[in-house]
Structure 1
Amino acid sequence: MINPQVTALNKSATLKITALTKKLIAEGKDVVNFAAGEPDFDTPEFIKDQARQALASGLTKYTPSCGIPALREAIAAKLRTENNIPAQAQNVIVTSGAKYAIYVALLTLVQSGDEVIIPSPYWVSYPEMVQLCGAKPKFLKGLKEDDFKITPASLAKAITAKTKVLILNYPNNPTGLTFSRKELEEIYQVVKDRDIFVISDEIYEVLSYDSLEHTSFASLADAAKKTITINGFSKTFSMTGWRLGYLSAPDEVSEQASKIIDHTTSCACSISQNAAFSAFKDQQWPKKVQAIFQERRDIIWKGLKECPELDPIKPQGTFYLFCDISSTGLNASDFATQILEKHLVSCIPADSFGISGFVRMSFATSNQQISKGIERIKVFLTELGK
């Protein structure tokens, strides 16, 4: 008998389409990949050099389960200086990817019968992880006219005696939108006197555009006492395959969460951890990456705005653009399938993000590929109108 909590899980729609896209590319097809969930550029050489040094030095053994002590210190220092989070090394747990950090946080905090509030649209793995923990995801729908953001009133109404966690993700995957400091302070006012933890997924923090300043939820007043901050190296440093993330949590949470690491992964990859040290030494790389993606954001948004059948939402962060395709007469799944089969443009239908009538388009590709993809989309829309 297979565990029913596992059989109830949905396969990741994003990984499914990404796998199909990669298969077509491997077959020699000229696919414009707007489905990618990772940067298109390679891991920077200074990080790879550090990894090679670690290998040459024989740093290939287990590390302490919560991470190399000096790396935990470096992460805590980064959180204090860049994010204004009062973190110490003992609050930081280095994990095998930021995704696993979220799962560890949930396993630590919730049990059967608990509710976890997940704003919608949401990243596909949040509800599945909540269910794996035996808890119940409670979706809080964000409206298009509110930039898909939850409001203090809607949040207060959604909270019950069973609510144990609120998940925030900003800049947001899939919408590309983010919260201002004022909006976060309003959310904090709702949760501060309740027995609720906030898991704040800030993996895209560097990719904030138009001079928008990223505010970490744990930096607000006393929010750090009830906030687990999630971050990592994958998006900024193109290290998705290195599987290295981290969480920062109050002492009571980090102490218990460390037991999960002890009995599951033992530790994050020693080579990845040693390589990550160099990420803190280059202050220009994040700025360079942010500038590249902002330029790409401008190209894809301006191009799609020229299509009357589409209503693209201008991203404030991430490398995703959320596009309303309802005026085409197609549902999101048919839109994504047809444009891939007929014009070799891949994108993700938003049904798996908890909303219909939208697709997510990634601009984690070159300017030339973005322009090519836009032209193909225009041809596809013209054919639809005939």
Structure 2
Amino acid sequence: MSRIPAVAAALSLGVLLTACTENAAPADEGDARSITVESSADACDLSAVEAPAGKLTFSVKNTGTDVTEFYLLAPDGLRIVSEVENIGPGLTRDLTVVTPEGDYITACKPGMVGDGIRADFTATKSDEAVDVSAGDTELVDQALTNYAAYVGDQTDQLVAKTQEFVDAYKAGDDEAARAIYPVARTHWERIETVAESFGDLDPMMDAREADLAPGDTWTGWHRMEKDLWPARAEDYTPLGAKARAKFADDLMANTEELATRVPDLTYTVDQIANGSRGLLDEVATGKVTGEEEYWSRTDLYDFQANVDGAKVAFDGLKPIVEKNDAALADQITSRFEELQALLDETREGDGFVSYDELTQDQVRQLSDAVNALSEPLSKLAAAVV
């Protein structure tokens, strides 16, 4: 779970971590564009509460005992400007992002649950703000145009396939619904970091049962997944026709709402780069572990879709990366190829084997390949701005 201006995994609706954060004064001018972040179990300490607008690097160190995430959010606290996920205890990961002048919210999310430990952040007026497109206008414009078209196309396909799924589910045609489910989900997973950026829609559409806090209402894909594949559930009572129709109509309405919002999005190359890495983080935190599709065991469909989306984002930026850092472009390309070769070994017909059919060695190899790709991909944003 996941997850461009509105790109990256959205914060789950859950219990708000209310601990206060003690933030230091703004950094000296020479260090103003480099902000350190220490994320612990109960604090999110930034070295500065403001920085000049433009290219900023947040260096996030996990000083706690749980995996953590760091988000830069818009003032509404819902839209994700950018994020870095899957920061293990003792590790440090960088988030490079171009921030226009304005107010933001930072958030650390230890344990990757709840709304996170939040604080205000300001990008102040600056004459040195980075122009992402400087010197590469044509390449940048092409990358942005192509990515917007890709997201639009995948959203249209998501709407169409979701309609097929909910129609079969409402009609009680479980065999057809089970066949359509992983295919429809593919279109969601390819643009997951974009879809998750809508903080109100994502929890209603893609929350897993394990993500829920006490009192949360569970709706969306995974609620119906459990109903279609209840074998792993204890004392499960199947949903009746009325309840099925309610959940199906709700998912369809939210999918259509997503489709109305996507055309209004704008993108920058650093956001696309961070979204590419975010999709690999989604693989590392859910798909390769078999936690995403707990009931259906169709995780490998999601795995492939996340890789598809990450590669499309990278491929669009590749001409810029080749110009700025040819060695990095070559390394990322080869790592994608190595990961894809392993995924291809898990194919079965037009799809993939059940996650439960993977051997421990296969899971380890896939995990190692994801980690090997994530390392150079984490440098992508810095190479395009």
TM-score range relative to shorter protein: under 0.3
Normalised by the size of structure 1, how large is the TM-score? 0.26
Higher relative contact order (CA 8 A, sep 6+): 1
TM-score, structure 2 normalization: 0.26
